[in-house]
Structure 1
Amino acid sequence: MLSARSLFQEIHDDDDAFRLFCSIAAKGEDQGGWENGRISALVADQVLAPKVARHGADEDKHGRIFKALLHKRGLAPVDVPDDTDYTMRLERQGIGLAHSRLRRDEPLSEEDVIVYLAHSRVTEQRASEQMRLLTKVFGGHPDIGRAVRMISNDEDNHLAFCHEELLRLAAAGHGRTILRHLQETARAEIRTYRDVSLAVMAHMGVVLDWPRAKSAALAAGVRSVYAWECAAGWHRMTSLTMPERLNALGGPVPQETFA
C-alpha cells in the first residue's frame, strides 16, 4: 500500500534517493537564505529588516542541516535537476522578487515588501505542511528526528511572521494589494508544486527502479492533490489570521546547532 510514510521511508533507506532528496531540499533552503539576506539589506524598515535577516539565517541553517544529514551517511550532494527547482520555477513565472532586482543596491518599495511577504506567506504554508508531515514520519527517528523537528518549528515561525506582518500592512490600508498578490502567488504555487512533485517522483522512480504502475499511481496522487487545490485548497494559502506566535522572528537568535 502506498502512503507518505512508506514513500519517505523508501527514499530514506536508499543512499542515492536520500542524496537526491537532501540535495534538492538543501538547494531550496540555500536560495531562500540568499534571498532573505538580500531583502533584509534592502528593506528600509529597521524593525522589519532584522526579522527578515533572521528568516534568512534560518534558511541557511536548514541548508546546512540537510548537508549534515548527507555527511553523516558519507554522501555528497548531487546536482539538482532543473525541473525539480521549486524556487527558480516560481521566479520564472514572475512570482516573488526577481534575483535581478535583489542584486541591485536599491531600497525596496512598500509594494516590493508586500510581494516578498505574500510570496513567503504562500511558500511557507507549503513548507510548514511538508515539515509537519516529515515530523510525523521521522520525528522519533534516531538519526534525523531532531533535524526535522527543528526545521518544522522554524517553518511555523516563518509562517507566523508572514501572517503578522501582512495583517499589519493590511491595517495600514494595503488590503486589496495584499489579497491580489496572495491570490496570484497561490495559483502559481499550486501549479509549480504539482510540476515539481511530478518531476521529483519521476527522478525517484528512476533511482529506485519503480515499476510503471507505481509511478503512475504516485503521479495520479499528485494530480489529485492539484485538482483539490484548484477547487478549494488554495484558499488556505490566501487567508490571514493573527498567529499565536507573535513576534516569532523577533528577539535573539536561538543558539541551536546541528551536527
Structure 2
Amino acid sequence: MLTAKSLFQEILDHDESFRLFCSIAASGETQGGWENGRIAALVPESQRAMARKIARHGADEEKHGRIFNALLRRRGLQAVAVPAAADYTMLLERRGIGLAHEKLQRDEPLTETDIVAYLAHSRITEERAAAQMGLLQKHFGDHPEVGKAVRMIARDEDNHLAYCHEELLRLSGAGYAEEIRRALREGVQAEIAVHRDVSLAVMERMGHILRWPRAKRALLTAGIHALYAYEQAYGWRRMVSLRMPERRDALGGPAPAAPEFA
C-alpha cells in the first residue's frame, strides 16, 4: 500500500535517494540559518528586543543543516547539489516572498515593514515544516538511524511556529494587523504553488533513482496536484490564522547544542 510511511522508508533504505533527501534538507536549513542571522543583525532599533529570538531561530536552522549533513556522513555519503527546481527557498524568493537576499546582503537596517514580511513568510513556511516533521516523527521518531534527529528537529520547528504566532500577534496589536493579513494572504498563495512545484520535482528525481513504475509516478503526481487543489481552496486558511500559542516565548533562550550530530 502506498503511504507516506512506505514512501519515506523507500527513500531511507536507498543510499542515493537518502543522499538527495538529506542534501535538499541540509541546503534549505543552512540557507534559513544565514537569512535569520542577517535579519537578526539588521533588526531596526524599534524591534531590537526580537534580535535575540531571530538569532536563536537562525542558530536552530544551522543546527538542522549540520544534523542532515551528519546523517549523510554516517553512511559515508557526501551532499549533492540541490536541483534548481527543488530549491524551495530560492523559488519563494523569486516570487517576492520574504526578504530578498540582495537586501540582506546590505548593511542597512531593516524597517518594521520588513520585519512584518519576514514574520509572515516564516509563519507560513514554519507551518509547512512543522507539519512535515510531525509526520516524520509519527512514523520514524523511534527509528534507530534517524529517530533522534527527527525528534529534535520536530521540536524546534514547533518552537519556531509558536514564536511566529506570538510575534505576529504582538505586531498586530501594535497597528500592523492589516499589513500582516495582506502579507499572509499573498505569501500563502505563493507558498502552496512553490510547494507543489518542488514536490513534483523531488518526486520525479526520486522516481528516477528508485525506478518507480509509471503507474506509481502517475499516482503520486495526482496526489500532489490534489493536495494543491485542496490547499488552494481550503487548506490555506490554517497557514494564515493566528492564535496565541501554549508555548510562550519559545525562542527566548539560547539554542540547545547538538554535539552528537555536529
Shared fold, TM over 0.5: yes
* Identical pairs, percent: 65
In 2, distance between residues paired with 1:152 and 1:255?
A: 15
Q: How does 1:214-225 map to 2 (within 5 A)?
A: 214-225=216-227
- The answer to whether the 8 A contact 2:56-2:253 is kept is no
How far has the Cα of 1:195 moved from its partner?
0.4
The one-letter code sitting in structure 1 at the alignment partner of 2:234 is A
In 2, distance between residues paired with 1:250 and 1:41?
A: 17
* Aligned twin of 2:209: 207
How far has the Cα of 1:42 moved from its partner?
0.1
* Aligned twin of 1:231: 233
| Deviations 1:151-205 (CA, angstroms, capped at 9, x unpaired) | 0000000000000000000001110000000010000000000000000000001
2:181 aligns to what SS in structure 1?
A: helix
Which residue of 43, 49, 53 corresponds with 1:51? 53
* Aligned twin of 2:40: 40
* Aligned twin of 1:151: 153
Structure 2 residue runs of 5 or longer lacking an equivalent are none
1:241 aligns to what SS in structure 2?
A: coil
* Aligned twin of 1:126: 128
| Deviations 1:55-112 (CA, angstroms, capped at 9, x unpaired) | 0000000000000000001111011100000000000011110000000111010000
| Deviations 1:37-58 (CA, angstroms, capped at 9, x unpaired) | 0000000222100100000000
Q: How does 1:18-29 map to 2 (within 5 A)?
A: 18-29=18-29
In 2, distance between residues paired with 1:248 and 1:133?
A: 21
Q: How does 1:45-194 map to 2 (within 5 A)?
A: 45-194=47-196
Structure 1 residue runs of 5 or longer lacking an equivalent are none
Q: How many residues align?
A: 259
- The answer to whether the 8 A contact 1:163-1:241 is kept is yes
- The answer to whether the 8 A contact 2:63-2:258 is kept is no
1:47 aligns to what SS in structure 2?
A: helix
In 2, distance between residues paired with 1:137 and 1:219?
A: 22
* Aligned twin of 2:17: 17
How far has the Cα of 1:253 moved from its partner?
2.7
Give the TM-score normalised by structure 1: 0.99
- The answer to whether the 8 A contact 2:23-2:81 is kept is yes
| 1:247 corresponds to 2:255 | no
In 2, distance between residues paired with 1:203 and 1:42?
A: 38
The one-letter code sitting in structure 1 at the alignment partner of 2:18 is F
The one-letter code sitting in structure 2 at the alignment partner of 1:157 is N
CA RMSD of aligned residues (A): 0.7
In 2, distance between residues paired with 1:32 and 1:153?
A: 17
The one-letter code sitting in structure 2 at the alignment partner of 1:8 is F
In 1, distance between residues paired with 2:145 and 2:253?
A: 30
In 1, distance between residues paired with 2:2 and 2:260?
A: 32
How far has the Cα of 1:136 moved from its partner?
1.1
In 1, distance between residues paired with 2:256 and 2:31?
A: 22
- The answer to whether the 8 A contact 1:147-1:258 is kept is no
In 1, distance between residues paired with 2:91 and 2:76?
A: 30
| 1:5 corresponds to 2:2 | no
2:247 aligns to what SS in structure 1?
A: coil
How far has the Cα of 1:137 moved from its partner?
1.6
In 2, distance between residues paired with 1:69 and 1:25?
A: 11
Give the TM-score normalised by structure 2: 0.98
2:69 aligns to what SS in structure 1?
A: helix
